[in-house]
Chains A and B, each alone.
Chain A
Amino acid sequence: DAGITQSPRYKITETGRQVTLMCHQTWSHSYMFWYRQDLGHGLRLIYYSAAADITDKGEVPDGYVVSRSKTENFPLTLESATRSQTSVYFCASSEGEGELFFGEGSRLTVL
């Protein structure tokens, strides 16, 4: 089915472990984004990408790594997870008109 999918939807991990959240879109949108949603902070931009092999930092990039070798995929890696990275993570894609299409989110708990 067409759309944007995130996996896993739920993940529990321990402090210090590496975690990768996957994001896949079928529209061939140029732009892709990773946001985290926390109570009281709304959505904060972690990283975004304007095209394959082009990525840039958002508001809160520390502790995260992204890559975009293919237009349709935009994985987010937490290299050494910390408790402060417990959050709901949303991937989105766009053609740059301001209309972002969001995935259903990945809920990450770091113990």
Chain B
Amino acid sequence: AQSVTQLGSHVSVSEGALVLLRCNYSSSVPPYLFWYVQYPNQGLQLLLKYTTGATLVKGINGFEAEFKKSETSFHLTKPSAHMSDAAEYFCAVSPNTDKLIFGTGTRLQVFP
């Protein structure tokens, strides 16, 4: 069975600081990995995804994530946080992209 673990249900950073949201996965087959973002009272939207190829993946709004097979990780980063980045972020894993299993989410707060 596949699963994801997001370390830290809440992360707080100052505006302009590095954002690092952690995700570790468990998969018996080469996984497809995703990060989604949810703004208040909205559905989720895709930030970025890793399927095959380059292990450093760039997404929207300046976010990127690196697939590290040896560490079973897919951490999300952004060099400089903006107030508008405040949201909940979900890591997800899938064996074949037709069904995603989501983590429990990390709420990002950005302070001025």
Q: Identify the A interface with B (CB < 8 A).
A: 31, 33, 35, 40-45, 48, 50, 58-59, 90, 92, 94, 96-100, 102-105
Residue B84 interfacial (CB < 8 Å): no
Whether B101 pairs with A98 at a CB distance below 8 angstroms is no
Q: List chain B positions with a Cβ less than 8 A from chain A.
A: 6, 9, 32, 34, 36, 41-46, 49, 51, 90, 94, 97-105
> With the chains together, A41 CA to B104 CA distance in Å?
5
Report whether B41 and A42 are in contact in the complex, using a CB–CB cutoff of 8 Å. no
Q: Does A50 lie within 8 Å of B90, measured CB to CB?
A: no
Question: Chain B residues near A41 (CB, 8 Å)?
Answer: 104
Chain B residues positioned under 8 Å from A35 (CB to CB) = 102
> Known: A42-B90, A96-B97, A97-B97. Is A102-B44 also a contact (CB below 8 A)?
yes
